[in-house]
Structure formats: structure tokens, C-alpha cells
């Protein structure tokens, strides 16, 4: 989590600690979305041998729409397969860095 200090390093400032915590939370959040995205594609019958194959498929076959309520709908070949309802406001601004994306459903 927070970078451990070696004896010759200067202590991290409060802002550095916050930045480190925020970057870790964002990384965890991105991983959660990616896991649901891949699971949704599997539910539609798409599986990939490696990351490169997945990325090429996504670039040419997938898209996402986001509305004003932060609802994201992911499509594969214009067919919806995953809906996420993001809920940042209650998590970020209450001094609680928690990027739980709210709710999701496979379509």
C-alpha cells in the first residue's frame, strides 16, 4: 500500500501519501471494472487466449456509453452486455477513498 521508507529516503509528505493511496484505489477500481468487462464478454461467448487478443478484439468490436447519471453500458458488436452504475460522490468526498463502482448487471 503506502511506500515503505528506507533509512536514507526523506519521509513522504501528506500529499504524497494521499497521491499514493489515490493511485492504488484507482488501480483497484480499474481492475474491478476490467474483471466484470471480461466476465460479461465470456457470458456472451467471447473468450481470449491472451491479453493482446483481448485488446485487439475490444478495439474493433466494443464501445461504451455513459449518461449523465454515470451509468455505463458496454456493447459488443452493438449488443449491450454489461451495465455499471458508478457511485463516486459518496465515496471520494467523505475522506474515504473507496472506488466501489456501485452496482452492475450483465445484459
Any idea which residue has 485487439 for its cell?
Answer: 56
Average pLDDT of the residues of the chain: 80
Query: Given this model, what pLDDT does residue 18 score?
Result: 76
For residues 46-68, average pLDDT: 93
CA distance 60 to 57: 5
To the question of pTM greater than 0.85 for the whole model, the response is: no
76 has a pLDDT exceeding 70: yes
Query: Given this model, what pLDDT does residue 1 score?
Result: 44
For residues 54-65, average pLDDT: 95
Q: Which residues fall within 8 angstroms of residue 97, CB to CB, at 6 or more apart? A: 21, 22, 25, 91
Task: Quote the radius of gyration of the chain (alpha carbons, Å).
Answer: 18
Label residue 22 by pLDDT band (50, 70, 90).
confident
DSSP notation for 2-39: PPPPPTTSPPPPHHHHHHHHHHHHHHHHHHHHHHHHHH
Amino acid at each position: 500500500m503506502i511506500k515503505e521508507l528506507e533509512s536514507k529516503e526523506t519521509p513522504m509528505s501528506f500529499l504524497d501519501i494521499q497521491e499514493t493511496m489515490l493511485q492504488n484505489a484507482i488501480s483497484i477500481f480499474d481492475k474491478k471494472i476490467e474483471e466484470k468487462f471480461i466476465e460479461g464478454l465470456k457470458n456472451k461467448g467471447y473468450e481470449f487466449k491472451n491479453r493482446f487478443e483481448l485488446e485487439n478484439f475490444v478495439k474493433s468490436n466494443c464501445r461504451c456509453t455513459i449518461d449523465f447519471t454515470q451509468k455505463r453500458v458496454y456493447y459488443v458488436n452493438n449488443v449491450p452486455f454489461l451495465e455499471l452504475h458508478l457511485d463516486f460522490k459518496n465515496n471520494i468526498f467523505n475522506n474515504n477513498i473507496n472506488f466501489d463502482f456501485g452496482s452492475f448487471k450483465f445484459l
